[in-house]
Structure 1
């Protein structure tokens, strides 16, 4: 699986996992949403589904459902801090267009 995490993303995720002291996973996925059809899912979970793809990188256990995998190949997950906002940013080479607000995309 070719998903990469930036140093900032790794640091943010590991800090969260350390503070919660549970055996948890980072779930990354795609859902039908927004004006362009798809948006990202990112959350910390403590359960795995039978059809999940599982891998580990830089000490972080990642799960992706098999429906999302085609849309996530080659992505880079970053964590950015800007003037008044901070959060995860997906750099996805598969995207053809993004809606005006930046919340949804089309491949």
Structure 2
């Protein structure tokens, strides 16, 4: 299951990657930041790193590093336009909370055992 992309997200990702001919696909993961702990990272994947999980969606490869995978497993990535704003939107079943500004979130993996 790993990660899925909606048709709108696939279209936007393809447009983005068309400007990067050396790109293998997208790299999707998380980094520690903000008041809740994690923030999403979406960038061009220039290489397949050791341990990466590679998910194919509509012919597009999404590379996920092993440390991020437990935090993003099952996430649906969408792309939405609202007036002048446009952004990737993440529907993550692992998310258990988010900060008020929406910049960061926590997951089940962050909770104490």
Tell me the TM-score normalised to structure 1 length.
Answer: 0.91
Q: Which residue of 2 aligns with 1:101?
A: 101
Q: Which runs of 5+ in 1 are unaligned?
A: none
Counterpart secondary structure, 1:79: strand
Q: Which runs of 5+ in 2 are unaligned?
A: 108-113
Query: Whole-Å Cα distance in 2 between the matches of residues 97 and 71 of structure 1?
Result: 12
Give the drift of 1:82.
1.1
Q: Which residue of 2 aligns with 1:27?
A: 27
Name the Cα RMSD after superposition: 1.4
Q: Which residue of 1 aligns with 2:17?
A: 17
Give the drift of 1:62.
0.9
1:90 aligns with 2:95: no
Residue pair 2:3, 2:73 contacting (<8 A) in 1 also: yes
Tell me the TM-score normalised to structure 2 length.
Answer: 0.86
Tell which deviates more after alignment, 79-88 or 97-106: 79-88
Tell which deviates more after alignment, 23-32 or 35-44: 23-32
Query: Whole-Å Cα distance in 1 between the matches of residues 64 and 19 of structure 2?
Result: 23
Counterpart secondary structure, 1:96: strand
Query: Whole-Å Cα distance in 2 between the matches of residues 91 and 28 of structure 1?
Result: 13
Question: Over residues 38-66 of structure 1, what are the superposed CA-to-partner deviations in whole Å (9 max), with x where a residue is unaligned?
Answer: 11111012122112112212111110000
Query: Whole-Å Cα distance in 2 between the matches of residues 21 and 30 of structure 1?
Result: 24
